[in-house]
Amino acid sequence: MLQRSLEPFQNDFGDAIELQQIAYEFRQELQYRDDFEAYCQWYYAVAAQNRAELAAMKNDIPFFSWFCRSKA
Q: For the residues 6-10, what does the mean pLDDT come to? A: 55
Provide the sign of the torsion angle of the four alpha carbons 56, 57, 63, 69, taken in this order: negative
- The counts of H helices and E strands in the chain are 2, 0
Mean pLDDT of the chain: 85
pLDDT digits (tens, 9 = 90+) for 44-68: 999 999 999 999 988 888 777 778 7
Percentage of residues in the chain with pLDDT exceeding 70?
81
- Average pLDDT on 24-52 reads 98
**CA 16/CA 4 separation, integer angstroms:** 19
Identify the residue with better confidence: 4 or 12. 12
pLDDT at 33: 98
